[in-house]
Structure 1
Amino acid sequence: MRRVLVLTLLFLNFTFSQEYLIKVATIAPDGSTWIKVLREYDSQIRKESNGRIGFKIYAGGVAGDEIDVLKKIRIGQYHAAGFTGVGIGEIAPNLRVLDSPFLFKSYDEVDYIYQKFNDEFEREIERGGFVLLGWAEVGFVYTFTKTPVYGIDDLKKLKMWAWQGDPIAEAAYKVIGITPVPLSITEVLTSLQTGIIDGVYGSPLAILATQWFTRVKYMHDVPLSNASGALLISKRYFDSLPKDLQEILLKNGRKYMRKLVELSREENKNAIETLKRNGIMITEPSSKKVLSEYDEVGKKIRRELVGKVFSQIWLDKIEKAVEEYRKSNQKLGN
């Protein structure tokens, strides 16, 4: 009996002292704010769990692009990853509505929608086999080009890049009337250098980090979309963790990913000033009519995506909520 008790105690001791090392992949480069915050998150969960859980971070795309990483997570090679809308869309297609062109006009609108529908978003992600640790948006995306753009007609004259395999980019260009050049992210800089493309899109911070700004001259000051992002973990792996470690992961995930969102917004704002200092010129829409044209194009693009990427039900409820928020804030004088 005593021997059984000793063995039981040894087993329990092993169980509670075992370290769970979560392999996390991201395309964010080492040294970036994304990685700095992720390391803070790692440090905190190690501290709170007395070293029982932590991250092993694979930065800079060493694990492959998002689709590659997704496949590797599903076979257990990695456990979690930072995804943009492209990866999120493979897991929970309806959530790609959040990346819809010309849907949001401010971060206040973005925050309202994410808070209002967070529980539904989480359920969609879980149905895709993942658990949300925290939202980590890329930020508002703009067009950056070699020649000035003042409206849609100017865009039509350009050889625009499209992220290969991204249905939202494909639909947007189709509605606008552009035949894009589909390329992976790793091919973009070389293609700008060789003239294969003369226009790209991205957040100001991303344009700086990728060095694409060295091959363009203009930024068109109309946000195309607010690019979504999230830190997701395999549900199968998450469910295998002890409950107390799950709680530590979730609690700190919300905290540190929100910190990342706030830092990213500030850095994107600062990045625009850095781009200006590096010779990038900002172009404004030529008239209010042009802004209305962008809104109409946005609606057409979203309709084009219904049934192909997300459902009509999801589009309707998100658009309705955005419109209600705008009307409410207009009444308040905001």
Structure 2
Amino acid sequence: MFCSDRNEDNTKRSTRRPARTRFLCIACGILASLLFALVMWTVQATPVYAASKTYIKFSTLAPEGSSWMNRMNTLSAEVDKATNGEVAFKFYPGGVSGDEIDVIRKMRIGQLHAAGFTGVGLGQILPEVRVLDLPFLFRDDKEIEHVYDSMTEYFAGQFEKEGYVLLGWVPVGWIHFFSQKPIDNIEDLHDKKAWMWEGDPLVQETYKHLGVTPFPMSITDVLLSLQTGMLDTVYASPVGALALQWFTKVRYMSELRMGNATGAVLMTTRQFKKLSESQQKAVRDISRKNLKKLVQQVQQDNDRAIEVIKKNGLKVAPMPSEAERQKFFDVGEKVRKGLAGNLFDQKLLDQVLTHLNEFRS
């Protein structure tokens, strides 16, 4: 505190006080200006970061390096570019997330967001889609393409009701019997130790009319069961038999085709709705384009797989006689009648058959 004495020292202090006060005020003003300038420079210099990236966690049984994964990596790169890096896929290939039942459970609780499924997995979500898996129904790839294109809008709506977005079809391909002994007729199947994917009502109904008592188990248990002799007959696409190494434990592949196995890519609606409208469109359009290309690649891969397994010693059991083939076709008709009203309704079956017959005519 200043004293009120009027001695010389106090007089000097009193005359110096206004100058120092002015100095402090000027210094404070300069400091405030510097701070303001610094704040404004920081605001202007701070980069504007893009919105946080949305990841789509995607599971598939296909191994890394396969045509499936090569195409999916292309799809992911295109989505990343189209969305300016705001949407990206994170893949879990080779069945590391478990079989299809495990994947569905993880999608329902949000651990996974999308996956590639065979008909078995699709049927767990929407049983009626198995109408596309009916045995001895299709004759060639063009019939399959026509029916799928004709039914896409319907099934997309049905999957939407179950909480999934149908991004595209990717049929697994034609299904053959792989066995220790050749299968020339239905009777040859009667004494076989035949595998059935556990929980598959369609194959169960098929085996019933073929006179087969199957061994139900997970797909991951098949190779060991073939090695130990618990199984001696399985069904698969050529690519599947090659990738899963089943062809190394059997001697024959039937030229007769059991049917064509459906497949598709689904994404949970919950995760899809996290995307903006433009991002949703990009994911739909890019998926549709790439999955169409993948269908063609799968067909080519199955043809090449047949050549590979033949070079490795597997023999192709010739096509049964026309009379024997008709017996298999008759089984297909019995399966359709047995499952109509249970796995799918008669109206849906009639719709598929109408599209098929229209194409054939």
Q: Taking structure 1 as the reference length, what is the TM-score of the superposition?
A: 0.92
1:37-186 equivalences in 2 (<5 Å): 37-186=71-220
Larger radius of gyration: 2
What is the alpha-carbon distance in structure 1 between the residues aligned to residue 303 and residue 247 of structure 2? 15
Q: Sort the Cα spacing of 1:96 and 1:145 in 2 relative to 1 into closer, same or farther, 3 A.
A: same
User: CA contact under 8 A between 2:189 and 2:211: conserved in structure 1?
Assistant: no
Q: Which residue is 1:218 aligned to?
A: 252
What is the alpha-carbon distance in structure 2 between the residues aligned to residue 30 and residue 177 of structure 1? 38
Q: Sort the Cα spacing of 1:217 and 1:239 in 2 relative to 1 into closer, same or farther, 3 A.
A: same
CA displacement at 1:98 relative to structure 2: 0.3
What secondary structure, in the 3-state scheme, does the structure 2 residue paired with 1:38 have?
helix
Q: Which residue is 1:312 aligned to?
A: 346
What is the alpha-carbon distance in structure 1 between the residues aligned to residue 62 and residue 247 of structure 2? 17
Amino acid at match of 2:283: L
CA displacement at 1:125 relative to structure 2: 1.2
What secondary structure, in the 3-state scheme, does the structure 1 residue paired with 2:137 have?
coil
1:15-54 equivalences in 2 (<5 Å): 17-54=51-88
Aligned: 1:247 with 2:265: no
CA displacement at 1:14 relative to structure 2: 7.7
What secondary structure, in the 3-state scheme, does the structure 2 residue paired with 1:17 have?
coil
User: CA contact under 8 A between 1:103 and 1:319: conserved in structure 2?
Assistant: no
Segments of 5+ residues of structure 1 without an aligned counterpart are: 1-9, 327-333
Q: 197, 201, 204: which is aligned to 2:231?
A: 197
User: CA contact under 8 A between 1:162 and 1:180: conserved in structure 2?
Assistant: yes
The alignment's C-alpha RMSD in Å is 1.8
What secondary structure, in the 3-state scheme, does the structure 1 residue paired with 2:159 have?
helix
Give CA deviations for 1:69-95 in whole Å, capped at 9, x if unaligned: 111111111111111111111222211
CA displacement at 1:117 relative to structure 2: 1.6
User: CA contact under 8 A between 1:23 and 1:55: conserved in structure 2?
Assistant: yes
What secondary structure, in the 3-state scheme, does the structure 2 residue paired with 1:50 have?
coil
What is the alpha-carbon distance in structure 2 between the residues aligned to residue 98 and residue 300 of structure 1? 16
CA displacement at 1:265 relative to structure 2: 0.2
Give CA deviations for 1:110-154 in whole Å, capped at 9, x if unaligned: 000011121111111111110011111110100010001111111
Amino acid at match of 2:79: I
Q: 291, 304, 316: which is aligned to 1:257?
A: 291
What is the alpha-carbon distance in structure 2 between the residues aligned to residue 319 and residue 140 of structure 1? 19
Segments of 5+ residues of structure 2 without an aligned counterpart are: 1-43
Q: Which residue is 1:5 aligned to?
A: none
User: CA contact under 8 A between 1:91 and 1:129: conserved in structure 2?
Assistant: no
CA displacement at 1:178 relative to structure 2: 0.8
Q: Once the two structures are aligned, what percentage of the paired residues are identical?
A: 43
What secondary structure, in the 3-state scheme, does the structure 1 residue paired with 2:266 have?
strand
Q: Taking structure 2 as the reference length, what is the TM-score of the superposition?
A: 0.85
